[in-house]
Structure 1
C-alpha cells in the first residue's frame, strides 16, 4: 500500500540536501568557492555540534573539535592556518596580561579559547576565562578574546587596547604555523569522493583568489587582499602537521579531557 509522504517546504528540502558545513568568515571563502549553494554556513561551535550529531558529512571545523572527538578524519592538504599574525584571532587588553584577572572569551570558537589557554600556560599566566558574546560591548572590556570577521572589524575601529595576536604568539613560542580549522570528514561518511571534491575546491579557490577578493563585500578590498594572501594559509603540509603535533602536546598539558591523535586522509 502506498502511504503519501508529508510535503517538505523548499527550505527544509534545501537544508537536508546540504551535507557540507562551513563558517561564515572571509577565511573560509577560498575553501567553499563554487559550492556556496550546497554548503550551510554556521558559527564554529554550532557547526561542530551539528557535524558531531551527523547532520553533515564534512565540516570546516576548528582543530579542537577533531582533537576532542574521535569521530573524524582530517583531509590532508587543506587548512585554515597562519604562520605569524593571523589578524582575526586575538586578545584585546587594556592592562598587561600579567595584571589581568579575567579575559572575556567569544565561545563561538573553542579552538581559539584552547589556543589562548596554551599560550597563557606557556607564560605562566592563569586569568579566569569567562564567556562573552556581545561584540558591541567589546570596547568596554578590559580584556577580551575576539575572532573572525567581528574581530577584524574591531581592529578597524578606534580602541584603547593592546593586541595579542594568537597566531603570532604561537609562532613566537614554537616557530611553527598554527592550524585553526580543517576539513573534518566523518568516518561514517559513505561518499567516497567527498575528499577529492573538497581538495579540488581548494585549488579552484586559490586559482580564483582575485575573483573572491573582488566579489566579497566584507571590509575593503585592500584588507581582504592582505588578509587572504598574507595572513591566512590554506595548505596542510608537514610544517602545519608539526604545529598540530605540538599543539596536541601542549593541549594535553592544560586539558582535563582526553585529546585524541589526529588521523589524516589523502585525497590525491
Structure 2
C-alpha cells in the first residue's frame, strides 16, 4: 500500500508543500492527489487518501480515525486574510438573515456559525451551501462566506458597498486564542502500516515549512503572483499573518473550537484531546 497524499491547491497551505522533494517521494511510493478541502475531507474518511491537510472540523467529526502530525498546521493569531464574510449589513444586524456558505469548507462554515451564535447571540439565521461564487451567493442572500483563493479574489474587488469581516480576526477578538483551520492528519491504520515512509514525508513537510519561512516566502510569492496576480506587498502581508506551527497555544485554541461546535450541536461527540502521531508505531494523546 504506500501513501496517497492529499494536496489542496489553496495558497494558504502551499508553504508546507512547496519545497517537497516530490520525485524522491514518488519513487518511494507516494502519490499526490489534488483536491479542494471538502473533497479531501471525504477522501480521507473513506480511505482513498491517507494523509493530508484536512479541515480541523473534519478531524473533530472523526478523531478516532486520525493522528495529527506534530508542529504542522494552517493557523492564524488574528486576521487570516483568506476567510471572509461579505455582508450587505453590519454583522450586529444579521439575526433573521439568509447567509450563503461556500461548499468547499467545513471548519470555516462552522466557525462562522459559532461566532454568530456564541458571540453575537444571533438567532433564526438561514444558511445555504453553494458553489463559491460571490456574485451568485449574494444575489438572493444577505451575506456570504468565502474561503481560500475565492475569498482573496473577492476581497480585491473595487468598492462594492459590502461589509467585510475576517473570520479569523473575529475569533481572536472574542477568545484571545489562535484558530487552526487545517491540521495535517494521517489515518491511524495507514500510519501503522507505512510508518517509515510517513517519517520521510513528515521530515520533508517540516523541511518545506522551514525553507518557506527562511526565504520569507519570496520564491513562492513570485510564482503565486505569476499565476494569480496581486501585489507583492499583499502576499508579504498575507503570509506574515499565517502560522504553520502547532504549538500548545494552537492546540488550546483548537480544543476550544471543538468545545463550542459540540456545545452548539455541530458535532455529535465532544473532542477533549488530540491524538498526535510520533515516530514508531504508537500515537500519543495530548489533553
- The SS at the match of 1:263 is strand
Partner of 1:107: 103
Aligned length: 252
- The SS at the match of 2:108 is helix
Q: Which runs of 5+ in 2 are unaligned?
A: 24-30, 281-287
Matched, 1:196 2:193: no
Structure 2 distance, partners of 1:266, 1:212, is 29
Structure 1 residue aligned with 2:13, among 8, 25, 28?
Answer: 28
Q: Which deviations, in whole Å up to 9, do the C-alpha atoms of 1:173-226 show, x marking residues without a partner?
A: 110100000101110112221433332332233334221111222232222221
- The SS at the match of 1:236 is coil
**What RMSD, in angstroms, separates the aligned Cα atoms of the two structures?**
2.1
Matched, 1:253 2:247: no
Partner of 1:9: none
CA 24–132 in structure 1, closer or farther in 2 if over 3 Å, else same: same
Q: Which runs of 4+ in 1 moved over 6 A?
A: none
- The SS at the match of 2:80 is coil
Matched, 1:222 2:236: no
Structure 2 distance, partners of 1:138, 1:150, is 12
Matched, 1:131 2:129: yes
Structure 1 distance, partners of 2:237, 2:92, is 31
Q: TM (normalized to structure 1)?
A: 0.87
Q: TM (normalized to structure 2)?
A: 0.81
Structure 2 distance, partners of 1:129, 1:58, is 31
- The SS at the match of 1:60 is strand
Structure 2 distance, partners of 1:134, 1:128, is 17
Q: Which runs of 5+ in 1 are unaligned?
A: 1-15
Q: Is the 8 A contact 1:73 1:186 kept in 2?
A: yes
Structure 1 distance, partners of 2:205, 2:194, is 12
